[in-house]
A and B are shown apart, each in its own frame.
Chain A
Amino acid sequence: GAGVSQSPRYKVAKRGQDVALRCDPISGHVSLFWYQQALGQGPEFLTYFQNEAQLDKSGLPSDRFFAERPEGSVSTLKIQRTQQEDSAVYLCASSLALREVQYFGPGTRLLVL
């Protein structure tokens, strides 16, 4: 079917606000990954899921970041009490299995003022 989709594409938040970013992976893809991409940099790993299980969250920068994938499909990345340093593009990727090629969504560009 269609590729990985993410929403919203752009989000402007005031410092201190909570935000929720959504990722719809490719249908049937077991693995789902979140990355953070600062301006002019390459993506950096945040966390990944196999089905609904979050197997690695070592890349989450602080306890303000929380990700879930309750039914093993759609995933949400939540950032509480946003700070200016959270401004970045948040990329979601999915793969058919853990060791397969990752397909990326278009990203959500978050700007915290």
Chain B
Amino acid sequence: SQQGEEDPQALSIQEGENATMNCSYKTSINNLQWYRQNSGRGLVHLILIRSNEREKHSGRLRVTLDTSKKSSSLLITASRAADTASYFCAATSFIQGAQKLVFGQGTRLTINP
């Protein structure tokens, strides 16, 4: 499998706490993306960080990228019950002009009210 790794595989925290998920990948990338998936649903795009960026913010989301370590982290601040979902990173490279996504195995996040 070409999939990257995410840790932890599962995370359970109390509402209001911050949640941090980590991702490691194997290939060279053009950018790295984070997606969210609710049970039984498709993936929803959250945020994209380019390979020449080190940190990016979007609302309660903060993403970091360390290309030397081939790793990224996603921080969700002030978590809410509605944040309960699986979160996937996707290492993105442009091959033959197309955006190829290689997903990690995901982190299952549970926010307890």
Contacts and interface: CB of A to CB of B under 8 A. Distances in A.
A42 interface: yes
A105 B104 CA distance: 19
Interface in A41-88: 41-45, 48, 50, 55-56
A109 B48 CA distance: 27
Interface in B61-104: 88, 90, 94-104
Given A55-B96, A102-B101, A91 B45 contact: no
Contacts, number: 66
A43 to B, nearest CB: 5
B105 interface: yes
A105 B94 CA distance: 22
A45 B33 CA distance: 15
Contact of A41 (B3, B41, B48): B3
Nearest to A98: B98
A101 B45 contact: yes
A102 B88 CA distance: 14
A56 B1 contact: no
A18 to B, nearest CB: 24
Contacts of A106: 40-42
B3 A99 contact: no
Contacts of B43: 43, 91, 93, 104
B101 A99 contact: no
A102 B99 contact: yes
Nearest to B31: A99
B106 A55 contact: no
A85 B111 CA distance: 33
B65 to A, nearest CB: 17
